[in-house]
Amino acid sequence: MFKFIDLFAGIGGFHVALSELGGECVLACEFDNDCQIVYKSTFPNTKLVSNIREITRDEINNEDSVKKTKEIRELVPDHDVLCAGFPCQPFSKSGKQHGITDKTRGTLFFDIMQIIKAKHPKYVLLENVRNLTGPKHVETWALIIASLREEGYTVSENPTVLSPHLIPEEFGGAPQVRDRVFIAAELNSTNEPVHISREAFKSSHDPHKWDISKFLNTDLEISKNKKIASYRLKNDELMWLEAWDYLVMNIDQDVLPGFPIWIDALNTTPTIHKDMPQWKKDILTKNSNFYKENSKFINNWLKKKWGINQQLITDFPMSRQKFEWQARKQFPSRENRTIKSLVLQMRPSGIRVKPATYLPALVAITQTSIIGPNIKNGIDNFRKITPFEAAKLQGLDGSIFDKADVVDSVAYKQLGNSVNAGVVKYVCQKLMKSTLEQLDFYESDFEQTLLPLEENLAS
């Protein structure tokens, strides 16, 4: 058995993944009170501290009051793996003292590095949003890599950006778009640094062939523990979808437009100003052309009234007068075309519909994915995915929220911020191959399946 610590632990995505590989968590750290409740309920025997700076600083709010390495070493149990889904704050361009790591002094990454310097675990696995690798964070990325190398770690300077939907289910994947960057480091390693291409499974896995119905429950299954009505859409929401579904099903076009349809842009002549951004000019022009091609149908459609209050579509909120059709792969023609067979989101930018193959990223706000009733037998009408279903998309057991007595709104937020346990497990099996082989936790099928892909994985 190997030991690990779980920093910025959330609701336990790292914990779940490493436990399945034979690990024992000897210390966890999580600041959010609601996450602490779930974590303690799920892992009652794990020591949990609320603030990493209780370990690394004499005064939590004083960035200069760093504990001595010896003190930190005594506070942190010995461990083989340090995991952290850390928040990323802007780094200073120049440190107050000498040394690469000191440039990160005001950030939580600095505190992670204090623990690494004190304990030097064999492996370090960090996770963050993909934006960390973007052009605005070039120096931040370089500092992270340099800080780890200064402490003797082998780590790739090329980011490993992975999403569950691009990874086959047998390797921990799931039908959810969720790009995250992983930094995998090994102490004093003679091996090549771990870098996994997001294209690793391109030749063997088609993300458009995911079957999301396997991750969904029937209404009856949900009703055993929750009131199904709490996940149903409100009357107004159903009205908006009914209006747009009428267009989708009845307009005489085999291929629906891929650009956003805006009700106020369905005019013979687009209203364009010279100071408009080009993207908006393009959308207005395309909407106008779409209208001219289908004016008779659209004019009749705009006169129809919908819902209990018999509203025109022009009476809908502006964000519901906008519609994005992104389901051409599922419906290349008019045959059986309906929103009821798709997944969708009610976004501030409009209603977006997509094929029922993989779901948009779980987000820590109110844009919970909605599934159509045709996706799975036993679903009677449009509804939001439940926290239990969302947890499965994160590689977690959804019953943790019932056990901790956490309300759905909190559960959705926690899942939106969570690390994907399946992807963590996949990365760990690459990073910790030698250790897991000794413990008989390295899956032989995993290795044999990867053999044809090694060239891609190293790219």
For the stretch 204-250, pLDDT in tens is 999 999 999 999 999 999 988 788 999 999 999 999 999 999 999 99
* Residue ranges of domains in the chain: 2-206+418-457, 217-384
The sign of the dihedral angle between the CA atoms of 8, 12, 13, 15 is positive
Six token digits for residue 316: 């809908």
pLDDT value, residue 458? 39
Half-sphere exposure of 370 (CA within 13 A, CB side): 23
Q: List, for residues 90-133, the tens digit of each pLDDT value.
A: 555 444 544 556 666 668 888 999 999 999 999 999 999 888 88
Cα 318 from Cα 187, distance rounded (Å): 55
Q: What is the pLDDT averaged over residues 321-344?
A: 94
CATH of 2-206+418-457, one of 3.90.180.10, 1.10.10.60, 3.40.50.150, 3.10.310.30: 3.40.50.150
Count of H-run helices and E-run strands, the chain: 17, 14
Tell me what the mean pLDDT of segment 402-408 comes to: 91
- As a whole number of Å, the CA-based R_g of the chain is 25
Q: CB within 8 A of 150, min separation 6: which ones? A: 99, 100, 101
Mean pLDDT lowest among 46-50, 126-130, 264-268, 445-449: 445-449
The string of pLDDT tens digits covering residues 160-209 is 999 999 999 999 999 999 999 999 999 988 888 999 999 999 999 999 99
**What string of DSSP letters covers 310-338?**
TB-GGGS-GGGSEEEE--TTT-SSSTT--
Q: Report whether 321 contacts 262 (CB < 8 A).
A: yes
Residue with tokens 């440039």: 103
CB 228 within 8 A of CB 386: no
Q: Would you state the pLDDT for residue 445?
A: 47
Residue of 390, 388, 258 lying closest to 332 (CA atoms)? 258
**If you average pLDDT over residues 402-421, what whole number do you get?**
92
Q: Is the pLDDT of residue 269 over 50?
A: yes
Residue 58 has φ and ψ, to the nearest 5°, of -75, -35
Active site residues: 88
Q: How do 322-325 and 261-262 pair as beta strands?
A: antiparallel
Tokens at residue 53, please? 């700076």
> Positive or negative CA dihedral for 445, 447, 448, 450?
positive
pLDDT at res. 449: 45
pLDDT above 70 coverage of the chain, percent: 91
- Both structure tokens of 312: 């025109």
Q: Which two tokens stand for residue 330?
A: 């599922």
pLDDT attached to residue 281: 94
